[in-house]
Amino acid sequence: MAAQQQVRAGFVELYGAEPEGVWSAPGRVNLIGEHTDYNDGFVMPFALPHTAVAAVSRRGDGVLRLHSSDVDGGVVELRLDELAPESDRNWTAYPAGVVWALREAGHPVTGADVHLTSTVPAGAGLSSSAALEVVIALALNDLYDLGLQRWQLARLCQRAENVYVGAPTGIMDQTASACCEAGHALFLDTRDLSQKQIPFDLAAEGMRLLVVDTQVKHAHSDGEYGKRRAGCEKGAALLGVDALRDIPYADLDAALARLGDEEEVRRLVRHVVTEDERVERVVTLLEAGDSRAIGQVLTEGHASLRDDFRISCPELDLVVDTALASGALGARMTGGGFGGSAIVLAEAADVDTITKAVEEAFATAGFTAPRVFEAVPSAGARRVS
Ligand code: GLA
């Protein structure tokens, strides 16, 4: 049974009535542009075929009922007037946070029954939480006729994550889930959320993009992500700009010189400014039809995240080193770091060799077996029935 029918049937079983509709929202993988989004910079994610699917109906009595078939336990019942930031450490914080953010912004949401399931791997750096947020935001936007645009839903979801969940993340993941289109990567300026859909069909050119989930779980509500963010903000303040986005690549050396002996801040600034330049280079290459050449840029991005931003880990480095040694065109960690997934760009003919080499390297190192799959740029959030 297709996911949407299963979710619909699950809803009927739980709540005793048909849902008003079913919505889906994808996870994402980021091609390039890491830790640039909270520096007002550029990112380039695309949507995965893995989605959160939610069946939803309105309620008028100020109650939110939540159920996930992925989690043990029954229906969680919450009162809307009792929703409070950082009061919930469970999965329910994501959908409840969205309801909280909508109501905080003055939108007349009076309750909902929700049953959902997700195929986005959790803790793998593939935005399982953004998928949960966006699917609920889109459903409530439709059902309550709120008239919000996709980018506005993304902003509300980010607020849910920052304030309600308490994770200081940027805007990339929610915008990717809400705005991506099949067959395209999303070139997003995170300062004003202006966007350009860049055709990205590697299969047509004989290439593949693999996602390698290292199975090392990460969390953004722990300290390291926030420390990097604070370090970037310190860099911007020391350099007298609103955000690191405002340091032109051509001025990087001069900016680094001005940071004097602030060694850690210098590394963070160097990563962010060069990463913005890498995003622009990838866009230029893709628009020129030179897709193979982006591999080198991805690999440079990994070195910067590993050496300057210092958020890689032995498993991610092993994927990248092994893939490159086995003929990959490029490879890098993707997402927030400290675990999660890497991406590998490869000729279609080399995929099996590279996959096998990575699996063997993990076995030899004594690491948990990685999960490898091909990432096909897929549709953004939508109503499915
Ligand atoms: C996580 C965050 C994003 C972004 C990435 C790093 O995925 O949710 O906002 O900062 O890390 O690029």
Quick one: pLDDT at residue 1?
A: 60
Question: φ, ψ for residue 278 (rounded to 5)?
Answer: -65, -40
Percent of the chain surpassing pLDDT 70: 99
Q: Which atom of ligand 1 is nearest to the CA of 127?
A: 7
At 261, the pLDDT band (50, 70, 90 cuts) reads: very high
Question: d(Cα 24, Cα 54) in Å, to the nearest integer?
Answer: 6
Identify whether residues 146 and 229 lie together within a single domain: no
Quick one: pLDDT at residue 219?
A: 67
Residue 189 has pLDDT above 70, yes or no: yes
Task: Supply the residue whose CA is at minimum distance from atom 8 of ligand 1.
Answer: 169
Give residue 320 CA to ligand 1 midpoint distance, Å.
20
Give residue 31 CA to ligand 1 midpoint distance, Å.
12
Identify whether residues 137 and 265 lie together within a single domain: no
Ligand 1 binding site (Cβ under 6 Å of any ligand atom): 30, 34-35, 37-38, 169-170, 172-173, 220, 335-336
Q: In which domain, by residue range, is 40 found?
A: 2-197+379-383
Task: Supply the residue whose CA is at minimum distance from atom 2 of ligand 1.
Answer: 169
Identify whether residues 143 and 226 lie together within a single domain: no
DSSP state of 145: T
- The tens digit of pLDDT for each residue in 216-229 reads 997 665 689 999 99
Residue 310 has pLDDT above 90, yes or no: yes
Q: Which atom of ligand 1 is nearest to the CA of 34?
A: 12
Q: ∠ CA(129), CA(60), CA(384), 5° rounding?
A: 45
Q: Please say if 246 is a catalytic residue.
A: no
Task: Supply the residue whose CA is at minimum distance from atom 1 of ligand 1.
Answer: 336
Task: Supply the residue whose CA is at minimum distance from atom 11 of ligand 1.
Answer: 336
Give residue 14 CA to ligand 1 midpoint distance, Å.
34
At 264, the pLDDT band (50, 70, 90 cuts) reads: very high
What contacts 169, CB < 8 A, 6 or more positions away? 37, 38, 158, 161, 162, 220, 225, 336
Question: d(Cα 219, Cα 206) in Å, to the nearest integer?
Answer: 35
Q: What's the CATH code of the domain at 288?
A: 3.30.70.890
H-state helical runs in 288-384: 294-303, 314-325, 351-365
Give residue 364 CA to ligand 1 midpoint distance, Å.
31
Quick one: pLDDT at residue 11?
A: 98
Identify whether residues 183 and 99 lie together within a single domain: yes
Residue 194 has pLDDT above 90, yes or no: yes
Report the pLDDT averaged over residues 109-117: 98
Q: By CB neighbour count within 10 A (0-12 exposed, 13-18 middle, 19+ buried), where does 114 fall?
A: buried
Do 174 and 133 form a contact (C-beta atoms < 8 A)? yes
Quick one: pLDDT at residue 2?
A: 86
* CA distance from start to end of the chain: 14
Question: d(Cα 282, Cα 277) in Å, to the nearest integer?
Answer: 9
At 47, the pLDDT band (50, 70, 90 cuts) reads: very high
Report the pLDDT averaged over residues 348-354: 98
Identify whether residues 182 and 302 lie together within a single domain: no
Do 273 and 247 form a contact (C-beta atoms < 8 A)? yes
Identify whether residues 222 and 315 lie together within a single domain: yes
Identify whether residues 121 and 259 lie together within a single domain: no
Residue 350 has pLDDT above 90, yes or no: yes
Pick from 173, 225, 228 the residue to mutate for probing ligand 1's pocket: most ligand atoms within 8 Å of its CB. 173
Identify whether residues 186 and 209 lie together within a single domain: no
Give residue 241 CA to ligand 1 midpoint distance, Å.
22
Identify whether residues 187 and 112 lie together within a single domain: yes
At 27, the pLDDT band (50, 70, 90 cuts) reads: very high
Identify whether residues 102 and 250 lie together within a single domain: no
Do 47 and 381 form a contact (C-beta atoms < 8 A)? no
Identify whether residues 243 and 169 lie together within a single domain: no
Report the pLDDT averaged over residues 66-74: 95
Question: d(Cα 137, Cα 129) in Å, to the nearest integer?
Answer: 12
- The tens digit of pLDDT for each residue in 275-299 reads 999 999 999 999 999 999 999 999 9
Tokens of 40: 């007002």
Q: By CB neighbour count within 10 A (0-12 exposed, 13-18 middle, 19+ buried), where does 293 fall?
A: middle
* pTM for this prediction: 0.98
- The tens digit of pLDDT for each residue in 317-343 reads 999 999 999 999 999 999 999 999 999
Torsion angle in degrees (nearest 10) through CA of 32, 327, 360, 128: 20
Could you give the number of structural domains in the chain? 2
Q: Which atom of ligand 1 is nearest to the CA of 167?
A: 8
Pick from 29, 30, 36, 37 the residue to mutate for probing ligand 1's pocket: most ligand atoms within 8 Å of its CB. 37
Q: By CB neighbour count within 10 A (0-12 exposed, 13-18 middle, 19+ buried), where does 303 fall?
A: middle
Identify whether residues 103 and 191 lie together within a single domain: yes
DSSP line for 202-263: TGGGTEEEEEEE------SSSHHHHHHHHHHHHHHHHHT-SSGGGS-GGGHHHHHHHTTT-H
Question: d(Cα 382, Cα 378) in Å, to the nearest integer?
Answer: 12
**Closest among 337, 347, 349, 354 to 295, alpha carbons compared:** 347
Q: Which residues pair with 134 in a beta bridge?
A: none
User: What number of residues does the chain have?
Assistant: 385
Task: Supply the residue whose CA is at minimum distance from atom 5 of ligand 1.
Answer: 336
Sign of CA dihedral 81, 86, 92, 97: positive
- The tens digit of pLDDT for each residue in 147-162 reads 999 999 999 999 999 9
Do 337 and 329 form a contact (C-beta atoms < 8 A)? no
Give residue 30 CA to ligand 1 midpoint distance, Å.
9
User: 172-179 vs 150-159: helix axis angle to the nearest 10?
Assistant: 150
Quick one: pLDDT at residue 214?
A: 98
Across the chain, what does the average pLDDT equal?
97
Catalytic residue selected from 37, 113, 173, 276: 173
Question: d(Cα 222, Cα 123) in Å, to the nearest integer?
Answer: 13
Q: Which atom of ligand 1 is nearest to the CA of 171?
A: 9
Q: What's the CATH code of the domain at 44?
A: 3.30.230.10
